[in-house]
Structure 1
């Protein structure tokens, strides 16, 4: 793995780079944001420029930061050491920018990045050490495995998952519930599990209900599968005591994976949400396939029996 080298003040051609303040103003960066970090993440080039793809990526992270920062500010009051788990971290754009813009100035709190690809974890560890981001940790494991990993704290304040693919978002929700997270910020991606279940039972459902016309064509199967998946996730969170808000992350021109689920723990478990979830599973023929995704519902039913 190539070590990250500090940025020089002069390019190979001998031309000085633009002043840091000038770059920040030109690109609309946040006050105090590390130019060196953005270059190390390849969001900025060595001479402080940004391509269109990088602008989209940074715009997504900034928008997500606007939702997370108020939660961090609230939960870090009274000298509380706030903890955040970032699932499916990838190159840890979100984690590094959260640390740079909030945790660094706060002087306390920790971020844990969970990622299955070892080279990305190693690169993030090197970058954190290079920048002196001492309260960042990176773990090479799946979201599901991290729930009971010894290296993880028993409790977390905030759980994030930006574009965690398919069932990794469900695993992040299970992690948050196990760790009694006070807030979850989720941007789901590539939901395929429900669509696969709908395809398997399509013929039976077409004979049973006209609703099956909603997923008769393959493109509709994918779209309705994604929609059902997120609706079930929201109901599950509400059934476990979370207040849920669903909104857009950024404009659709920037990303098609654009649904943002914000969940804040209130302790008010909605029985109606649990009932609706079960009804939807039955209506779409998903009972047998998806019951394992909602173990806390079964546990609650067992207690009441």
Structure 2
């Protein structure tokens, strides 16, 4: 009887090599594996778990929308500037720098985050990686408009990935003040409009059948979120931006999935301002939220 043949060394390591190759196939060309390990998206062994895969998929998909804007704004040797609001651990900022700003050799990313410990960690990581054109500011989004560390005018791109509740509105206000050429926003956890709807619920139920849309608490929350984003888009259009609304990724990856992309054209739409005011009036929100959306 013939003896069974021993496995070759190549066969023994094949499963590990195959797993590493599968992970590398999911990364963007030029992506630093060491950076992803530092961000704990990849494990020290170079593995990618399901939660990290979902997070990376969101950031990469967002990068696909931001990269063409950066390419456009980098023309004629311009040094593009980007402010990332509610930066958290700065996954987006670091990956943007690694995939675009590093090779470009110019431009600057500002990460704005209110949690001091995250700002410190991001600053140390940027120093360790040699990402010299990244700055991290320990500020709320609302306070950032007055920060001396930021350019007084002309930030090219404003981003806000899952900036909670009114932080997205503060990011929009920041973009308007800084005359941003583009804004890329993924809103999250809007509660302000829902709270306003609840306050006048009893009166609204007697006044209009539309109040049935927010009679139940779950509907109030969902409708409030929907109205908030509609108002944001109208506010941007009324302020001279062309607005596109799409999905960030598939719903199986995130329920906070609405992506708002606004590009400055300078053409302020009067019809958008009129519709914005009409919606605020219809839902009894004008007094409480008019100023936030530019309605006196």
Shorter-normalised TM-score: what interval? over 0.9
Which secondary structure does the structure 1 equivalent of 2:46 belong to? coil
Partners of 2:24 and 2:179 lie apart in 1 by 41
Q: CA offsets, 1:23-63, max 9 Å, x none?
A: 57644211111111100100000010011000000000000
Partners of 1:133 and 1:277 lie apart in 2 by 42
Q: 1:82: which partner in 2?
A: 80
Q: 2:10: which partner in 1?
A: none
Does the CA-based 8 Å contact 2:156-2:180 persist in structure 1?
yes
Q: Which runs of 4+ in 1 moved over 3 A?
A: 22-27
Calculate the TM-score normalised by the size of structure 2.
0.92
Q: CA offsets, 1:86-118, max 9 Å, x none?
A: 000000000000000000000000000000000
Partners of 2:202 and 2:43 lie apart in 1 by 53
Q: 2:239: which partner in 1?
A: 240
Q: CA offsets, 1:111-136, max 9 Å, x none?
A: 00000000000000000000000000
Partners of 2:288 and 2:124 lie apart in 1 by 41
Does the CA-based 8 Å contact 1:198-1:221 persist in structure 2?
yes
Q: 1:228: which partner in 2?
A: 227
Does the CA-based 8 Å contact 1:195-1:224 persist in structure 2?
yes
Partners of 2:21 and 2:39 lie apart in 1 by 16
Which has the larger Rg?
2
Does the CA-based 8 Å contact 1:23-1:48 persist in structure 2?
no
Does the CA-based 8 Å contact 1:238-1:273 persist in structure 2?
yes
Partners of 1:27 and 1:188 lie apart in 2 by 30
Does the CA-based 8 Å contact 1:24-1:30 persist in structure 2?
no
Calculate the TM-score normalised by the size of structure 1.
0.89
Does the CA-based 8 Å contact 2:82-2:159 persist in structure 1?
yes
Structure 2 unmatched runs, 5+: 1-12
Matched, 1:277 2:276: yes
RMSD: 1.5
Partners of 2:23 and 2:89 lie apart in 1 by 25
Partners of 1:137 and 1:148 lie apart in 2 by 16
Does the CA-based 8 Å contact 1:160-1:184 persist in structure 2?
yes
Which secondary structure does the structure 2 equivalent of 1:123 belong to? helix
How many residues are matched?
280
Which secondary structure does the structure 1 equivalent of 2:146 belong to? coil
Matched, 1:123 2:121: yes
Partners of 1:164 and 1:179 lie apart in 2 by 18
Does the CA-based 8 Å contact 2:23-2:48 persist in structure 1?
no
- Superposed counterparts of 1:131-170, under 5 Å: 131-154=129-152, 155-170=154-169
Q: 2:266: which partner in 1?
A: 267
Offset at 1:294? 2.4
Offset at 1:292? 2.0
- Superposed counterparts of 1:149-228, under 5 Å: 149-154=147-152, 155-228=154-227
